[in-house]
Amino acid sequence: MTVFILYNQCYLHKLIIKYIYWLNTVVFLFNPLPCCILALTTTTHHSCKFFSGKMGLFKAAGVVYKPVEEIDLGPDSNEFYLKANVKAPRMAGFLVKIFAWFLESRIIGTLLLYILKRNNLIHKLVSNATLEEAPMFVPLHPFVDLNEQEVEQIDSDASPAERVQRAMNCLPLTLEKSVDDSNSSSFRRWTIADYSRAYSSGEITPRKVAEQFINAVHESSRAALPMSFFINYDAEDILKQATESTLRYERGDPISALDGVPIAIKDEIDCSPYPTTGGTKWLHKVRPCTGDACCVMRLRSCGAIIVGKTNMHELGAGTSGINPHYGTTRNPYHPNKIAGGSSSGSAAVVSAGLCPAALGVDGGGSVRMPASLCGVIGFKPTFGRIPHTGVLPLNWTVGMVGILAGTLEDALIVYAAISGQLPSHEPTILPPKLLFPLLNSTNPISEIKFARYGEWFNDCSDEIRICCSNALHLLCEHYKWKTVEVTIPEIESMRLAHYLTIGSECTTSLSSALEKLDFAELGWDARVALRVYGAFNSKEYIKAQKMRNRQMQIHKNIFAKADVIVAPTTGVTAYSIFDDALKTGELDYINGAALVRYQIAGNFLGLPAVTVPVGYDKEGLPIGLQFIGKPWSEPTLMHIAFAMQALCISHHRKPKVFYNLLHKN
């Protein structure tokens, strides 16, 4: 049914006119275009072609950016903090379908996409902007010796199992806790070290844990509010791996501390015997999985039990984790709330105790956002640090394999397993040695300086602002570290350039498949995202890469003033899941903008970053504090995150949905 047939239906005609008025609010127009859109309700095809072809009439002037060396990065800078002035109401159900139909129409869609880009300032800040910088297409950073404190040097060509053992040697000694010890007054999740000790002592076997894992997943899927943790898992394969691990422990010959430990994998990473769906119903049909991704192979070589493919937002094109095909992953702290995305399932399984760690992929905060919302550690290394072979190439210059874990120690162990030399075809400039933080050192690292941009830091809910400010104050007070007030300019320009980049790379990587795809196989929110992504052109992509180069220089100058940038991880805590979104997905740009607010530098500029849970809001929903580091500064970031964790862990709360896999009964 065409748009013109719809116009002949009186009721729908009125609905469309009403919706177009509403759309003016969505894109917060600053020009006379509303009249032009309304004219389309009665205009001819020829007139539509006129409006779509004469966009020069409404061309937005572009910003002329000053040279980087002229920018004042101090706290009294006159650089303006531009908030994402999103006023669009939430859309789900029938409204999402209407919006998708509009965008996919050749006539109205062209004009609407132009308006959306213009009035979300893409034209002004990126497309038509003047930048003197050359484009930087890949955020590769040359290695610089940072003289990091309290580190252990590891040969980068050491085997994954050897690296895991060296990482274990870096951990602090802890009192052994029996799997039957339930008398502790404070909540804590079982760690990889707990699993390893329980297996080695014979208190429980990997086979028993696997059985309890399978039962827990079954229970979670039969709940009144299904948790939808996994897209795919194979009980027979899990039990086979667990049986082999149990035999190794019985022989007294485990491969590493990861032997028998359940690890989940986001369904964006190849992992046999499962298809890699990317959260879709079709992608695995055109791109079959032929084996394990490099990072998964390394985990297997350490004896880890790969327990399945976790749920995710379709194509990673959203922040909620609502998936109309495989169910909505729910937050273990409050099952009526989102888990966040796009690595929703990976965050939720760690939060719920099903795995001490899981892998995700972080292209726009997709590891750190859900980790923060679900109250766990989310760690994204420097671009190029972790092999990307076998990961869906949805966003090859901004996406990185990341780690979600219950504790910083577990993040370090998994990081040790999956890092190291890259396959020869992957571009990188890896440091000659791997450095692990000595978390067991009696001498905490000293003289750390945190860069804090006050207007940006405070652009969040009051509860998050107060909680994160208090956590940062406590950290600095306890370790005698300092906070340096700075200005980080052009944050909104960087966000738009990142969005343009990730969108362009996604549609380019999928272009041949999308040409043949029946769009009915896509969720409605994914259809909207792909239509917007496809509206970007080569000129805009190159402008975005010029912005990347510019921001890399700006951040290099900020890191000359401080060791780490600190900010909340998200601007809001987990928000409610509504029934109307379960079948169509949703467009919630207000919450979405708040969730991605602090994520972009880590991805667009290839910087390492980690989020640590530091408190809860009045509903008991987790709040995370994020640390963004210099390139290759993973050991320093881990030291800081470990220090923050130590000050907060005694206040951690048990999620409403939680499974104790080490309980023998």
Residues 6+ apart with CB under 8 A from 240: none
Cis peptide before 342 (omega within 30 of 0): yes
C-alpha neighbours within 13 Å on the C-beta side of residue 521: 14
Cα separation of 638 and 451, whole Å?
17
CB atoms within 10 A of CB 31: 12
Burial 629-650 (b: 16+ CB within 10 A, else e): bbbbbbbbbbbbbbbbbebbbe
**Tokens 């022989």, residue located:** 251
Contact (Cβ atoms closer than 8 angstroms) between residue 35 and residue 114: no
DSSP class of 622:
E
Which tokens belong to 102? Answer: 């509009």
374 to 339, 405, 521, 586, 652: CA distances (angstroms): 6, 11, 30, 20, 12
Three-state DSSP at 615 gives: strand
Contact (Cβ atoms closer than 8 angstroms) between residue 437 and residue 642: yes
**Set 220, 366, 493, 633: catalytic member:** 366
Cα separation of 606 and 650, whole Å?
33
Q: What are phi and psi of 31, to 5 degrees?
A: -150, 180
Which tokens belong to 335? Answer: 């099952």
DSSP symbols for 8-66: TSHHHHHHHHHHHHHHHHHTT--SSHHHHHHHTTT--HHHHHHHHH-GGGGPPPPPBPP
Task: Based on the residue annotation, tell me whether 228 is a catalytic residue of this protein.
Answer: no
Q: Burial level of 226, CB count in 10 A (0-12/13-18/19+)? A: middle
Q: What are phi and psi of 219, to 5 degrees?
A: -60, -40
CB atoms within 10 A of CB 145: 8
Cα separation of 175 and 355, whole Å?
21
Contact (Cβ atoms closer than 8 angstroms) between residue 289 and residue 275: yes
Can you name the residues that pair with 271 across neighbouring β-strands? 274
**Set 124, 266, 309, 543: catalytic member:** 266
DSSP symbols for 544-576: HHHHHHHHHHHHHHHHTT-SEEEEES-SS-PPB
Task: Based on the residue annotation, tell me whether 538 is a catalytic residue of this protein.
Answer: no
Burial 368-402 (b: 16+ CB within 10 A, else e): bbbbbbbbbbbbbbbbbbbbbebbbebbebbbbbb
The phi-psi region of residue 28 (left if phi > 0; otherwise alpha if psi is between -120 and 50; otherwise beta) is: left
What angle, rounded to 10 degrees, do the helices at 94-104 and 524-533 form?
A: 30
Contact (Cβ atoms closer than 8 angstroms) between residue 552 and residue 474: no
DSSP symbols for 365-379: STTHHHHHHTTSEEE
Task: Based on the residue annotation, tell me whether 266 is a catalytic residue of this protein.
Answer: yes
Residue ranges with strand state E in 55-132: 91-92
Which tokens belong to 523? Answer: 């969720």
**Set 105, 245, 256, 342: catalytic member:** 342
Residues annotated as catalytic (active site), given as ranges: 266, 342, 366
